[in-house]
Amino acid sequence: MPMGSLMTEFTLAIAATVIAATLAGVYFTSLNQVADLQKLQVLGLKEQLYYRCDIIYAHSSSGSTIIRIWVKNTGFKDLSRDLIKKSEVIILGGGGVHYLLYGGSPNSWSYKLLNDSDEDGRWDPSETIEVKAHLSRSLTSGDYHLKFVLFNGAESEYGLSV
């Protein structure tokens, strides 16, 4: 066998090995990226399972500027005062939309922890808070759609007739 033919085959074998190694590297890098994305998705789902709530009742009357909303922690983790205060209340109806943040002014909301069983000041799973939505104008008779949104985007909705 001529020496030139051996050199050509040897060069082709090395080139094929380099190409195969490069393709394998690209493939495994892509697999790692997909695995990382799946881990992020699982962490996001885990957070949404950890922090959840349900509006269990709401009450107000025509002419009032306050809506009382009772919200139960149906998640698996407790929420600190700071996390509770990052929640939002949205009220649709009466010809408008009210977007309320925590605070002490009109168009804000406040809360009281009703059954703090371990007296730690945190909103533990299965405990209920009473949210007072303070509006800048009086409610009129009609149907209202209430939404309580936690800091992580988990939300609960409730229909209220006044």
pLDDT tens digits, residue range 99-142?
999 998 889 999 999 988 888 989 999 999 999 999 999 999 99
Q: Indicate the pTM of the whole model.
A: 0.73
Q: What is the pLDDT of residue 3?
A: 66
d(CA 60, CA 146): 12
Mean predicted confidence (pLDDT) in 54-68? 96
Q: What is the pLDDT of residue 90?
A: 98
Mean predicted confidence (pLDDT) in 91-97? 91
Q: What is the pLDDT of residue 77?
A: 93
Is residue 41's pLDDT more than 70? yes
Is residue 4's pLDDT more than 70? no
Is residue 25's pLDDT more than 60? yes
Is residue 145's pLDDT more than 70? yes
Lowest mean pLDDT among 4-18, 122-136, 137-151: 4-18
What contacts 24+ positions apart, CB below 8 Å, involve 77-84?
A: 77/50, 77/51, 77/125, 78/120, 78/122, 78/123, 78/124, 78/125, 79/51, 79/122, 79/123, 79/150, 80/122, 81/121, 81/122, 83/51, 83/150, 83/151, 84/111, 84/123, 84/129
**Cβ(84)–Cβ(101) under 8 Å?**
no
Strands 88-93, 155-161: pairing kind: unpaired
Q: What is the pLDDT of residue 1?
A: 56
Q: What is the pLDDT of residue 119?
A: 85
Q: What is the pLDDT of residue 6?
A: 73
Which residue is listed with tokens 């909303």? 69
In whole numbers, what is the pLDDT of the chain averaged over residues? 89
All residues at 6 or more sequence positions from 34 whose CB lies less than 8 Å from its CB, including other chains: none
Six token digits for residue 6: 């051996």
